[in-house]
A and B are shown apart, each in its own frame.
Chain A
Amino acid sequence: MMAQSASPTRSKRSFTSIFRLPVGILLCATWIAVILIVAIFAHWLAPFDYTQQAPLTRFAPPLKLSNHLLGTDFLGRDLLSNLLAATQTTLMVALIGGTISAIVGTSLGFLSAHFGGWVDNLVMGIADAMASVPFMIIALGVLAVFGSSPLLFVLLMGVFNWWRYARLARGLVLGANADGYAEAARIVGVPSLRIYLRHILPNIAGPLVVQFTLNFPEIVLMESGLSFLGVGIKPPAISLGLMISYGTSYFAIAWWLVALPGLVLVLTTLSISLLGDYLRDRLDARLR
């Protein structure tokens, strides 16, 4: 059914359908757009260098000082600047990690479906194993053994949930292979790689994109969790989880140090997962 909506008139239709989106979804999309702009232009938008300390203006609440709109933290750093930088880091980590796991997982799913046999068993076996152990534990173990570095951390986020793409892509490819158009291409002598990229991938892209939007908030939560525990993003870099972690110590006297980054975090994950749910319900029955 989904394929049926794919037509030359597609672009026109999706343009008019913007006006038929539910208000909630529009709000989510708006927030995501704002957050993306912030992530891209954080350096230019920030009123201060986020690491700049000011011992005299510590713990300023929001809207109290005219130059520190959202107040300052325990070292007198500008909270708004910190928030912008942290949002940028968090989104970048999630975006890169999410992309890595999408590519790795999808490729492995394709391989699994293509070769079958022991390759399939191996890939799906590892996927099952990873799915059964909480990733938080795996991540902590890996970070304990190899020490925390930004590169390792991003790679870890890239490994998180790859198996969802692998399982999904494998199932979709097997389905597409049974569908006939892939076989028809094979019969004509179209090389396998071209069949996968040119024929099958465009037909199964929908569910994979939906998976990405559903997966994204989970990476954000995982990143902030690990950073909160002090093994993820490390200073001088800053992320939303790390900001909350800092704020926890001064919770009783400066609620905004936890509340503001927490709010940004929740609004972001909420918007993306609502959008993902919406996309899934609209586009794809196979994921349900």
Chain B
Amino acid sequence: MSAPLLETRNLTKAFGQKTGWLAKPKILCASSSIDLQLNARERLGIVGESGSGKSTLGRLILGLTPPTEGEIFFEGVNHKARSLQGWKQFRVRTSLVQQNPLSALNPQMTIGEQISEGLLVHHFASRAASYERAAAMLDQVGLSSAMMSRYPHQMSGGQRQRVVIARALILDPKLVVFDEAVSALDVSVQAQVVALLRDLWQQRDLAYVFITHDLRVVRHVVDRIAVMYLGRVVETGDIKSVYEWPRHPYTRALLASVPSMDPTIRNIQPPINGELDPGKIAGGCPFRPRCPFAIERCGTEAPLLRDVAGQRVACHRAEEFPRSVQMGKEVA
């Protein structure tokens, strides 16, 4: 197999938080030592609560914010080694779909202008030709080309999200980051956009990272999943096997909190206790304060990602948890 499309090595982003006049800045790790690999046409889901650093990871991958430590390779080229021209190329070959389609669209520009802008600024097509291609792209995302001259506020939320997707795909990127791309939409619209996403993926040479907190949606659109907790990946693996047999207590708790149709199997896992407090953890497992299975070792030794039956899990007790059948069947 050739080199992966995207690779991150030991990726860390720390934010300083100043607390007082003379106090040392508190370091908050939005993401810490993340190693990820993504092949061409692969679909990776990143899930976690808000504050888990999943959006920061997306921004790091796209080079929108520089990492504190670590490297990112796209098509074998290190971000740090990219020239201005290299960045331009990177921008063409990657894209982003943001969370809130209303703010992601410029209120003062028509849909057509916004979709075709990428083609124009890179001189891929003349104004007329780029408009034509934008119209074709609109058609592909299921919108009529009559929408070209509309403004964002004249559309519905689902239509706007389709426009944002069309804009992201107009340059035919190899990698797209979807950052909570459907979370702001109604459930019925979500389903439509998810179906659209699958269609588009099948027609194109496209890999994507799907960032979300919604475990119901992510299941239908990715091949592989990485679960993040306080800036760290705590479990990663094939989507099917993770849903069938989650090995990390956090993943288990997340999956258990998804509402189930069957009342007898609801909330078998103990719910997660306590709030996220990134400042508190020092040494040991970051999940320990909220983990019902924590043992003494968890307080002293931070678990590293290790192979457990084909998945990678960061938990000392990963082997001890039973298969939780209810998740694999019922969450749909």
**Is A199 interfacial (CB-CB < 8 Å)?**
yes
Nearest-CB residue, chain B, relative to A202: B108
Residues in A with CB closer than 8 Å to B170 are: 188
**Is B98 interfacial (CB-CB < 8 Å)?**
yes
- A203–B109 alpha-carbon span in the complex (Å): 10
Number of B interface residues at 8 Å Cβ cutoff, please give it: 31
Q: Flag if A7 contacts B118 (CB, 8 Å).
A: no
Q: Flag if B167 contacts A6 (CB, 8 Å).
A: no
A-B contact count (CB 8 A): 77
Number of A interface residues at 8 Å Cβ cutoff, please give it: 22
Q: Flag if A183 contacts B98 (CB, 8 Å).
A: yes
Residues in A with CB closer than 8 Å to B92 are: 189
Residues in B with CB closer than 8 Å to A199 are: 106, 108-109
**Known contacts A8-B151, A188-B171; is A181 also within 8 Å of B121 by CB?**
no
Q: Flag if B122 contacts A189 (CB, 8 Å).
A: yes
Residues in B with CB closer than 8 Å to A179 are: 103-104
Interface string of B166-190 (1 = CB under 8 A from A): 0110110000000000000000000
- Tell me the minimal C-beta distance from B316 to chain A in angstroms: 40
Q: Flag if B95 contacts A3 (CB, 8 Å).
A: no
- A194–B94 alpha-carbon span in the complex (Å): 20
Q: Flag if B98 contacts A180 (CB, 8 Å).
A: yes
Residues in A with CB closer than 8 Å to B99 are: 180
**Is A191 interfacial (CB-CB < 8 Å)?**
yes
Residues in B with CB closer than 8 Å to A11 are: none
Nearest-CB residue, chain A, relative to B107: A3
Q: Flag if A7 contacts B153 (CB, 8 Å).
A: yes
Interface string of A1-27 (1 = CB under 8 A from B): 001101110000000000000000000
- A6–B62 alpha-carbon span in the complex (Å): 32
- Tell me the minimal C-beta distance from B323 to chain A in angstroms: 41
**Known contacts A3-B107, A202-B108; is A191 also within 8 Å of B121 by CB?**
yes
**Is A259 interfacial (CB-CB < 8 Å)?**
no
Q: Flag if B88 contacts A7 (CB, 8 Å).
A: no
**Known contacts A180-B98, A183-B64, A188-B167; is A3 also within 8 Å of B117 by CB?**
no
Interface string of A171-202 (1 = CB under 8 A from B): 00000000111011111111100100011001
Interface string of B133-156 (1 = CB under 8 A from A): 000000000000000010101100
- A188–B171 alpha-carbon span in the complex (Å): 8
- Tell me the minimal C-beta distance from A242 to chain B in angstroms: 43
- A20–B96 alpha-carbon span in the complex (Å): 44
**Is B100 interfacial (CB-CB < 8 Å)?**
yes
Q: Which of B107, B108, B122, B164 contacts A184 (CB 8 A)?
A: B164
Q: Which residues of A contact B (CB under 8 A)?
A: 3-4, 6-8, 179-181, 183-191, 194, 198-199, 202-203
A–B complex contacts, Cβ < 8 Å, 17 sampled: A3-B107, A4-B153, A6-B107, A7-B154, A8-B149, A8-B151, A180-B98, A180-B100, A180-B103, A180-B104, A185-B106, A185-B117, A187-B96, A189-B92, A189-B171, A198-B109, A199-B108
Question: When A and B form their complex, which 7 residue pairs have the shortest distance between CB atoms, in order from nearest?
Answer: A189-B91, A3-B107, A180-B104, A188-B118, A181-B106, A202-B108, A180-B103
